Chain A
Amino acid sequence: MLFKRSDTNVKMYIMPFVTTVNSQTDCNFPNGELQTTTLYELPLTTIISPVLKFKHLMRSTFILLLVLMGVSTTVAAQTIKITGTIANPAGDPLAGVTINEKGTNKTVFTQPNGQYSIQAAPSGTLTISYVGYETKEIDIGNRQQIDISLAAQEKSLEQVVVVGYGTQKRKDLTGAVSSVSGTELAKVPVQNVGQALQGRLAGVQVTMADGSPGAEPSIKIRGGTSITQSNQPLYVVDGVPQTDGLAFLDPMDIESVDVLKDASATAIYGARGANGVVLITTKQIKAGKVTVNYDGYVGAKKITSEIPVMGAYDYLVLDYERRAGDSARVAGFTNLYGPFDSLKTIYGGRPGKNWQDEVFGNTVYNQYHKISINGGSKDTRFNVFYARNNDEGIMLNSGSTKNIGKITLTHKIGDKFTINAIANYSNQKITGLPPTEGGNARLTYLQTLLQYRPVSGRNPADDEALLELETDPLDNQSSPAFQSPIIGARSRLRERVINTLNASANIQYKLSKSLTYRGLISYTSKGNKFKQFNTSESIVAIRSGGPFGSIDEQNDSRLNYNNTLTYARNFAGAHNLDVTAGQEYIYNYFERFGTSASAFPTVNNGWDDLSLGTIFGTPNSRAEDDKLLSFFGRVNYGYKSKYLLTASLRADGSSKFGINNRWGIFPSVAVAWRVINEDFIKAMPAFSDLKLRVSYGQAGNNRISNYAALGIYTTGSYPLNNTITTSAYQNNLPNPNLKWEANQAVNIGLDLGLFDQRITLTTEYYDNRSKDLLFDTRIPSSSGFITQFQNIGTTLSRGLEFTLNTVNIKSNDFNWNTSFNIAFPKTKVLELSDGETSKIVNSYTTFNDYILQVGQPVGIMYGYIADGLYQVNDFDFNAANNTYTLKAGIVKDNRTVQPGYQKFKDISGPDGVPDGVINDLDRTAIGNANPKYTGGFTNTLSYKNLDLSVFLNFAVGNDIYNANVLNNAALSNDLKNTLSRFSERWMTIDADGKRVTDPVSLASLNQGKTIPSYIGMVSDRPYNTMIEDGSFLRVNNVSLGYTLPKTLIKRTRINNARVYFTAYNLHVFTKYTGYDPEVSVINNAITPGVDFSAYPRARSFVLGLNLSL
């Protein structure tokens, strides 16, 4: 500060460091504001005149000096320079963070390296804020170096949630939207990110059909609505809608997943929203210096459980039992294996070959590597990465390898214009013979693996020879494939290659302060090629005249564009309005082509040269397309942030629907009351959020085949004069009224937050009615058609969902958060076709085993009820010819029964009362594949640099149809091995191997037996013994990580490093006896929960590294 005496005025010059003007200093500054770097001339009189009025000049001079010094300390307050770095919890510096001294207008921003510099009062407070992170207030406390770590806004009300065609803050939501962050999903070492969603979100049920590599998870939101059509939701990835699934995404590239569950959120997607919508946002690039990142892991996998199969001794006893009494066949047995009484000594301790061990038992390895470069300024940002995931399957010769390359560019011009471009290429190769392949249920690979004999002969060393036995001398051509399963897995080659290119660009242009235009255009090209070849050593080639193979390819392309205009404005501070209007067009086209050849010579080039086949199959080709055009609008209105209203309307026209019903209208309305903003709640500090939501809306499901409304002529073949000639006929009755399946949904939700959002609980109750369900309706077959595709069914899906998130402990060193979700879904069929109250269907084989019944849920297993065994005293014995005749009064079956045969319960006859005969009328519901409740439980803990996350998921009350057991109950078929549970069966031979015929010995031999005899087992009817409880609790993912301390890596180029160890599918607690309780091999909504030849599951342990330079 300077003083200059001139005349009677002492001028004072100050350079103010603070720009806030105290209203009491009666100063006239130019522009009314102080500039921080200008020297101001202050007439002294303005400051000291009130003082001078009361003092003598001499004394006043002294006092003046004192006052001046006092004034100088207040006017030019002492400020210090504070510097530091602002980073995110992972330690990455954040650019563009706003730092403001509280109470002043002084604001600075962090540089690209996260550093800032500000002059502030030593006793002041700094406010630090940044989009996506929680605002922090830090007391300066005389410090000059303040480094701050900002916490991401995970569960807070300011969290931005992606909704249809826009975003909303969680506190403004009127619909039911569940979200999960990408960091949680990235911890699960799976190839398909859909699998990582298992158990994370209330009401979103994710199941894997089985454990095959490259398997696509099936997602069902709120129980699903459709009976015949797909129940999969619509997927929207970065604004681009598609129904292909999530296989083309890299699981570590996800920023967040938001799932729209109720109609007010999904109605904006109109005819595609009925099954819910999964919105995926991939990693958004933040401004900052360019970083190079490496993420990778290596892991080992091993099968979790095996199905117990008979060992050598039990197998041979069964084999002998089949032959006993026929001296020629017994002689054959004795020659190969030895006499019956020596079986125990020779084979008692010999396990024989365990085929599951040989084919599935190896430890296999998987690896994942990703290199990415990203960064940029506030205006231009980019992200480029390449990721490769190699997942070996636990079954021999199987696996899935995925390569993904992606480029994302964002460019901003001024404040008005933003353009975003994404190009994502994914290449996935899946190899391996599916255990379900084989056509006829008896012939699938897994069944033949379980049934192949474990011993070859008397000499134990010969068992090894079975491994490579190409032609088994016992194979009698009519039995199912009798060959070493190892040769089977090696010689039946299958390869599927899926290439997907997704390219999209979206622009955002601010036409004015309130009006924004957004446009999106995207193109997807997908190729799916499936090659198969059975080499000369495979049994299927041997039996069909030589090796054979085929190549089939399908190419899909899709063009999608949409335009929206949004008007957002706040009126008079109390009314918040945002209106969106838009249009969308989607065009899908695919072509399919296939060719095959058979009877190849033994030496060949497999599928790489099909021309070597001597018999050619007929090539086939196909092309189809479909179009969708839509117009939609949405209004969001909020009054003082207390009362919220959302209304939307969409009109969809689709080429798939009948000519009379091309266009559909889908409205929705939702209201919400933010009780937390009411005065009476504000007085209760415990509450941090309280919101009540009610919504109603209509959405549709258009996932039907493209030409279902037309009368299609199909070609068939007819042999005429020894030549195959093509015939043609109309395949279906056309239906010009065919339309989408309609879903009317009501949702009531309550969001509760306590103690500053430390506890948040979301409760949802929903009631979804689906009508106009597409159904092959039974029509009188005298019309020439058995069914007509009509919109006629109705189902109900109702349930309760809870999501609870708690921040249990929050301190500088130790944090513990818990997330728990549970859903209680219930579905019920309300109506089938006219006059039809039930429909019986088959799942994996030729006999009926499921029922669709009015008043029952979808997914009911239907069959007989087992009622013990026929005992010896149920029969009259005729000693003259050693025959047993069933006594009167004992329930008869429509096959001839003997002691030791399976007995069934007589439920009903033609009159509705038990009639003493077992036939089709004695069937009833024997199982329900739907769980009573499902959910998941996550605990995340962090202590200093360690982080631990434990995730469990569960489902309770669902039944599984163990078709593996049913199929292997056909014990009377020669040569086949079977499950070890059947060794405790009713025996027809005694300890010497002789057939027992007299009643007394037969009864005493089989006292207490519950399993039927080898010839009395039933395998062509479904019955309740095969239905098991599939409830489970799975320790799904346990991940322990350690972030290297900054002090350690400060001197290297490394910015951030984290190592982690993850156990995936660590353990399943369940009573189910099959491979895994989460199984559903038939892809049909009516027949869920079938376990037939499913690929087993594995447990994997991975060690990973996240590195950032």
Chain B
Amino acid sequence: MWPYHNGWLQKVLETKPYSYFTSDNFYSNIDEANMATLGIYGAVSTWSGYGWNIPMVFDNDSDIGQTSGIAADNWRIIPHYTGIPETDMFYGSWSALYQGIDRANVVLEQIPKMQTYTSGTETEKAQLNRMLGEAKFLRGFYYSELVRLWGDVPFKTTASKAGADLKPGLTDRSVIYTQIIKDMQEAADLLPVAPPPTSVSTGGL
């Protein structure tokens, strides 16, 4: 469109985001891969995920837990079975689970592209494989939660890209379950039986 798309006029305007990582330069070493893997856990350790909504709101009122009070708060209305679909707590949990899934998809795509994955030491490869195992398990787990709560849901095993079509339809739950089981079996193969003695990876283990 603009004639000097790649020429000097573009170069003169280039800037470097000093304080940020971008998708171009992340995943350069094991530490960064580990940070990204922890991000998959982090997506659901929020109020909307396992911090509050899923265990305390959606699982109540039942024989194992009840919520007291009759005020108009969402977190009382839903357990008392008087909620409506428009209540944004449902949307919050849905989004949190899919956020975790996309982060897992990114890790599963990016780690195999890393140099260390193909040409690192055995210990390093083992660490990266462990992270792949974690990502696979978590993806499977999050999809199982989505199916448990909602039934047929959109299903993606690739990371979201800018410009792509972001509106897939619903996928039959049995198809999703097949993938979940496959992911979890592969994870079981990759994950070690017990965590290593020093739990935080420093890359030089």
Contact = CB atoms under 8 A, between A and B. Distances in A.
Contacts of A910: 84
Contact of A785 (B4, B9, B94, B160): B160
B95 interface: yes
A575 interface: no
Nearest to B95: A781
A735 interface: yes
Interface in A990-1035: 1020-1021
Contact of B99 (A627, A723, A785): A785
Nearest to B26: A713
Contact of A713 (B20, B154, B159): B20
A736 B162 contact: yes
A726 B35 contact: yes
B17 A896 contact: no
Interface stretch (B59-67, B69-77, B186-194): B69-77
Given A713-B23, A720-B38, A894-B77, A725 B200 contact: yes
Interface string A638-682: 000000000000000111000110110000000000000000000
Contacts of B99: 781, 784-785
B18 A623 contact: yes
Interface string B4-28: 1000011011111111111100100
B197 to A, nearest CB: 11
Contacts of B137: none
Nearest to A895: B72
Interface in A750-803: 779-786, 788
A730 B12 contact: no
Interface residues of B, number: 61
B102 to A, nearest CB: 2
B41 A727 contact: yes
Interface string A821-856: 000000000000000000000000000000000000
Given A627-B12, A896-B70, A920-B84, A781 B38 contact: no
Contact of B18 (A624, A653, A713, A786): A624
Contacts of B71: 895
Interface string B25-57: 010000010011111111101000000000000
B19 A621 contact: yes
Contact of B13 (A629, A707, A710, A895): A629
B9 A653 contact: yes
B176 interface: no
Contacts of B91: 781
Contacts of A717: 42
Contacts of A889: none
Interface in B103-120: 103, 105-106
A627 B35 contact: no
The 8 closest A-B pairs by CB, nearest first: A784-B102, A729-B39, A727-B38, A713-B21, A782-B154, A728-B35, A781-B95, A895-B72
A784 B71 CA distance: 33
A254 to B, nearest CB: 34
B200 A728 contact: no
Contacts of A728: 21, 26, 32, 35-36, 38-39
A712 interface: yes
A919 interface: yes
23 contacts: A622-B18, A627-B12, A627-B15, A628-B13, A663-B2, A710-B20, A710-B22, A712-B22, A715-B35, A726-B35, A729-B36, A733-B160, A736-B163, A780-B167, A782-B166, A782-B168, A783-B160, A784-B99, A785-B102, A786-B95, A894-B82, A920-B87, A1020-B73
A782 B165 CA distance: 11
Contacts of B14: 655
A947 interface: no
Contact of A783 (B17, B41, B98): B98
A895 B154 CA distance: 35
Nearest to A628: B13
A784 B23 contact: no
Nearest to A728: B35
A718 interface: yes
A414 interface: no
Tell me which of B1, B13, B37 has the highest count of chain A C-beta atoms within 10 A of its own C-beta: B13
B180 interface: no
Nearest to B100: A784
Contact of A727 (B35, B77, B98, B160): B35
A728 B99 CA distance: 13
A1059 interface: no
A711 interface: yes
A253 interface: no
Nearest to B99: A784
Nearest to A711: B23
A738 B57 CA distance: 39
Interface string B149-162: 00001101001111
A894 B87 CA distance: 13
Tell me which of A623, A662, A910 has the highest count of chain B C-beta atoms within 10 A of its own C-beta: A662
B9 A663 contact: yes
A584 interface: no
Interface in A883-921: 893-896, 910, 919-921
Nearest to A657: B13
B72 A735 contact: no
A626 interface: yes
Nearest to B195: A721
A919 B84 contact: yes
Nearest to B96: A781
Tell me which of B10, B19, B70 has the highest count of chain A C-beta atoms within 10 A of its own C-beta: B19
A573 interface: no
A716 interface: yes
Contacts of A361: none
A625 interface: yes
B184 interface: no
A727 B86 CA distance: 32
Contact of B19 (A623, A659, A725): A623
B101 interface: yes
Contacts of A893: 72
B199 interface: yes
Contacts of B84: 910, 919-921
A44 to B, nearest CB: 81
Contacts of A659: 10
Contacts of B106: 730
A710 B18 CA distance: 13
Contacts of A653: 9, 12-13
B198 to A, nearest CB: 10
Interface string A909-950: 010000000011100000000000000000000000000000
A594 interface: no
B166 A779 contact: yes
A836 to B, nearest CB: 13
A734 interface: yes
Nearest to A737: B163
Contacts of B22: 707, 710-713, 734
Contacts of A737: 163
B39 A784 contact: no
Nearest to B154: A782
B51 to A, nearest CB: 12
A723 B201 CA distance: 12
B190 to A, nearest CB: 19
Nearest to A840: B88
Contacts of A713: 20-23, 26
A837 B45 CA distance: 32
Nearest to A719: B45
A20 B161 CA distance: 86
A1006 to B, nearest CB: 23
A733 B167 CA distance: 15
Contacts of A733: 160-162
Contact of B86 (A707, A780, A920): A920
A706 interface: yes
Tell me which of A622, A726, A784 has the highest count of chain B C-beta atoms within 10 A of its own C-beta: A784
B86 A921 contact: yes
Contact of A716 (B39, B159, B161): B39
